Every structure is written in C-alpha cells, then in structure tokens.
Amino acid sequence: MIALGAGDPTKAICSTLIAQLFESIRYPILPEVRHVPVDHPGRASYYEDILHIRNYSLYTPRDFDISPYFQIIKPERPADFDYRSLHWDK
C-alpha cells in the first residue's frame, strides 16, 4: 500500500520518477559496468567499459548521492546566520 505524505513510500516514488526521467535520456545514475575485451593494436589486453542502465524502479535517494555522475550542491547559508536567534513554536 502506498501512503501519502512524507516517508519511505514517498521517497521511493520520487526517486523512481527522477530515475525514470534520467533513463529516458540515457543519463547514468549508477549503471552496471561490464568490461568487454576489445582488439587493439599494440595492446595485449584492452577493455572497453559497457554501461547498462538499471531499471528505474530500483533506485533510492542514496543512489543519486553516491553516483559519480552527480554533484551534491548545497545552498549556502547567509554569513550572518545564527541558529540561536530563530524563534521556534513551543
């Protein structure tokens, strides 16, 4: 059953949708890499990396974080930010 709101089901759905979009343009997230031997003049052992894109439904948010094809960009906080000055509801 899929629950609405924040939580694991929502994260899985969001990751799946994002992964599906990247798959549609053949952009790698965490592909399976197969090393295939190739004949190359002057080299005894030469391999070519063949990427296989996994099914989009198998991705989690962490896969985007650890992928070498994505860069994590965090917004910068203002230089004068002081967390102690925030007013929280009790």
Q: Which two tokens stand for residue 68?
A: 């070498």
Q: How many CB atoms lie within 10 A of CB 54?
A: 15
| DSSP codes, 46-60 | -EEEEEEPPPGGG--
Encoded amino acid at 11, one letter: K
**Percentages of the chain per state (helix, strand, coil), in multiples of 5:** 30, 15, 50
Closest C-alpha among 4, 19, 1 to residue 58: 19
Enter the pTM of the model: 0.60
pLDDT in tens, the chain (90 residues): 444 455 556 556 788 899 999 999 999 999 999 988 888 787 778 888 898 888 888 898 899 999 999 998 888 888 888 989 989 988
